[in-house]
Amino acid sequence: MGSSTVTSTASRPAGPGRLAELTSWDADWAGLRVVVTGISKTGFSAADTLAELGARVVVVASSDDDDARHAAETLKIVGVEEVILGQDSSILLPLVGGEAPELVVTSPGYKPSHPLLAAAAAAGVSIWGDVELAWRVRTRAGRKTAEWITITGTNGKTTTTTMVEHMLVAAGLRAIAAGNIGTPILDAVRDPEGWDVLAVELSTFQLHFTQSLEPLSSVCLNLAEDHVDWHGSFEAYAADKAKIYANTKVACVYNAEQIETERMVEEAEVREGCRAVGFTTGMPAVSMVGVVEGLIVDRAFIAERKDSAVELAHVSDIADLVPRHLVANAAAAAALVRAYGLTPENVRDGLLAFESGDHRIQPVAKAGGVLWVNDSKATNPHAASASLSAFKPVIWIAGGLSKGVEYDGLVSAHADRLKAVVLIGEDSSALAGALARHAPDVPVIETGRAQTGKEGMVETPIFGDAVMAQAVAAAAGLAADGDTVLMAPASASMDQFSSYAHRGQAFISAVRELLERRASANKES
């Protein structure tokens, strides 16, 4: 399928004036010329919403598989004017009905440097993400207008957002987690009944394309090097994280153990009366939520905060295995919902209902005194550091797609915890180099290749379940009573697995199969 594209400035967009007026569902969206990038969940929901609003929509997507073609047919039925599929189709900015588009709504996977987005910026076309669109259409006559609680951070976003959702539900509120977790934000906003509160997880990809959000409370949980390949630099990544605090109305929640997040709050333009509230895993100061003798306590949202605190929950209410970063997530979630007015009982009941989910510090088995833990969700060094901090001694299964980050700090911080390292990943040379420099005495076993050929002398790469079976077998050969085998890769998964969930499930299956074989062998002997 082809389409005309913007190749000159002869047909210019109408400018930002009309867009500034589009601040509710009931505004005049009719005829607005919009290009939507992507046709997966985010792009589909954006195109569907805009078509329902009466906009003229052209969708472009690099994919051209059966799922994309099916989505394209569905979008045409609901009123999208044109869908252009294929690798080459999303390079140029298309015309909409023969004229330049007035707006591009982009999916998070598109970098700002993407040729289509660069062409839009050069042509003076405004670029929004689906979150910006959702904020602008959230108000609709005859429906509730939900407050937003927004959550970002290098790690812990999904866990904290889920905790917030559980606490809100425990309070009897109609609430849902949305955004970068589960339900696309536009699907949540369009719910016929409406919501009291949305717990909105936001990635930096999404934050980059926002400008109008006014959350009730907001948090950047932590900040560490990640997604440098998308943002271009760590400074750009940090600047997009800091956008979480813009226009916050009641409470900007920051990590009292990481000065960078406090500085974000200090520099943020917020609404009059908004407070800075810290969270910590230690003793809280005034205007903080923290931990005292196994209790999560609040010294921020009580009148007597200068000389007392109120108990919110026991740390043991969170989960059976509670590493420090999970306590931090709970304290942050508590601060966010206390800003909304939830009671201590609501916080406690929400944590009791919370389940951390698969692939996040997930105990898989304990046999022969060895604990096997799956943290496939640890896709960057900061997340892996949190996992490693919880165990000692560790046989560490790590490696994968690095996303341009460095591992020296991670390895040097935890070298004394490492009994051995089993490397996965097509190219884990960066991690291997860091291990050689900072943990030279720690044994390192590389996996991911199998010998083939008649003489077994040719090595070929292996992927998926085969890689993990090899890694688990290597770890098992090194583990002894009292050890933890921790799969916390500190890297993305897409080089050898379809997703972090696939990688985690491969680990679980490999561990269970190994232990079943051992049990069977013991019975036979």
- Domain closes at, from 290, 323, 353: 353
- Same domain? For 204 and 327 the reply is yes
Report the percent of the chain where pLDDT is more than 90: 74
Bind-site residues for ATP:
153-159
pLDDT at position 1 is 37
What average pLDDT score do residues 488-514 get? 92
Domain contains 4: no
Q: What is the predicted pLDDT for the residue at 451?
A: 52
Give me the pLDDT at residue 10, please: 33
Q: What is the 3-state secondary structure (H, E, C) of 235-291?
A: HHHHHHHHHHHCCCCCEEEEECCCHHHHHHHHHCCCCCCCEEEEECCCCCCCCEEEE
Please say whether the beta carbons of 348 and 312 come within 8 A.
Answer: yes
How confident is the model at residue 464, as a pLDDT? 85
Tell me the binding residues: 153-159
According to the model, what pLDDT value does residue 285 have?
Answer: 97
For 72, list phi and psi in degrees, rounded to 5: -60, -45
Residue 460 has pLDDT above 90, yes or no: no
* pTM higher than the cut 0.85: no
Average pLDDT over residues 427-443: 94
Mean per-residue pLDDT for 114-125? 94
- Domain contains 5: no
Q: pLDDT tens for residues 315-329?
A: 999 976 778 889 999
Q: 65: which residues sit within 8 A by CB, 6+ positions away?
A: none
Give the model confidence (pLDDT) of 138-158 as tens digits. 999 999 899 999 999 988 999
The residues with which 255 forms a beta bridge, in sequence order, are 279
Q: Would you say residue 1 lies in a domain?
A: no
Rounded-to-integer distance, Cα 65 and Cα 516, Å: 39
Q: In angstroms, what CA-CA distances link 148 with 85, 168, 208, 262, 383?
A: 34, 12, 18, 21, 26
Q: Tell me if 2 is assigned to some domain.
A: no
Q: Which residue has the tokens 């951070």?
A: 153
pLDDT at res. 196 = 97
Cα 286 from Cα 8, distance rounded (Å):
58
Q: What span, in angstroms and rounded, lies between the C-alpha atoms of 91 and 416?
A: 49
Considering the domain architecture, whether residues 383 and 336 belong to the same structural domain is answered as: no
- Which pLDDT belongs to residue 12? 43
Quote the longest CA-to-CA distance of the chain. Answer: 83
Token digits of residue 194? 């409406």
Q: Is residue 271 part of a domain?
A: yes
Secondary structure of 350-415 in HEC code, one letter for each residue: HHHHCCCCCCCCEEEEEECCEEEEECCCCCCHHHHHHHHCCCCCEEEEECCECCCCCCHHHHHHHH
Q: Let me know whether 102 and 225 are in one domain.
A: no
Do 395 and 291 lie in one domain? The reply is no
Residue at a domain's end among 308, 336, 353 = 353
Task: State whether 182 and 113 are in the same domain.
Answer: no
Using pLDDT thresholds of 50, 70 and 90, give the confidence band for residue 231: low
Helix axes 157-170, 344-353, angle to 10 degrees: 120
Residues 167 and 290 in one domain: yes
Inter-CA distances, 343 with 205, 311, 317, 357, Å: 33, 10, 16, 25
Final residue of a structural domain among 83, 113, 133:
133
CA nearest neighbour of 228 among 218, 244, 241: 241
Which pLDDT score is estimated for 5? 44
What totals of helices (H) and strands (E) does the chain contain, helices first? 18, 22
Considering the chain, what percentage of its residues have pLDDT values greater than 70?
A: 92
Q: At what angle do helices 324-340 and 157-170 cross, to 10 degrees?
A: 40
Residues in the chain: 525
Asked whether residue 20 is assigned to any structural domain, the reply reads no
Cβ within 8 Å of residue 9, ≥6 positions away: 123
- Do 380 and 511 lie in one domain? The reply is yes
What is the pLDDT confidence band of residue 513, given thresholds at 50, 70 and 90?
A: very high
Q: Are 95 and 4 in contact (CB under 8 A)?
A: yes
Question: Does 62 map to a domain?
Answer: yes
Tokens of 270: 């917020």
Cα–Cα distance measured from residue 482 to residue 417, given in angstroms and rounded to the nearest whole number:
13
- In CATH, what number is assigned to the domain containing residue 375? 3.90.190.20
pLDDT for res 470: 93
The count of other CB atoms within 10 Å of the CB of residue 91 is 14
The residue segments making up the domain with residue 47 are 25-133
Query: Is residue 91 over pLDDT 90?
Result: no
Average pLDDT over residues 60-66: 92
What pLDDT does 456 receive?
52
The 3 state secondary structure assigned to 403-462 is: CCCCCHHHHHHHHHHEEEEEECCCCCHHHHHHHHHHCCCCCEEECCEEEECCCCCEEEEC
Q: Taking residues 232-254, report their average pLDDT.
A: 93
Give Cα 181 distance to the centre of its chain.
7
| Average pLDDT in the chain | 90
Mean pLDDT, rounded, for 406-411: 93
303, part of any domain? yes
C-alpha–C-alpha distance, residues 466 and 364, integer Å: 19
Same domain, 270 and 179: yes
Region 220-234: what's the mean pLDDT? 76
- What's residue 6's pLDDT? 43
Say if residue 154 is in the same domain as residue 122. Answer: no
Exposed (0-12), middle (13-18) or buried (19+): which is 215, by Cβ within 10 Å? buried
Of 228 and 82, more confident:
82
93 in the same domain as 66: yes
What is the pLDDT, as a whole number, of residue 389? 87
Helix 130-137 to helix 41-53 angle (10° resolution) is 40
* CATH assignment at residue 103: 3.40.50.720
- For the chain, the domain total comes to 3
Q: What average pLDDT does the segment 52-74 reach?
A: 95
**Distance between CA atoms of 63 and 266, rounded to whole angstroms?**
42
Q: State mean pLDDT over 114-123.
A: 94
Please check whether residues 202 and 341 belong to one and the same domain: yes
pLDDT classification of 9: cutoffs 50, 70, 90: very low
Q: How confident is the model at residue 262 (pLDDT cuts 50, 70, 90)?
A: very high
Q: Do 196 and 331 share a domain, yes or no?
A: yes
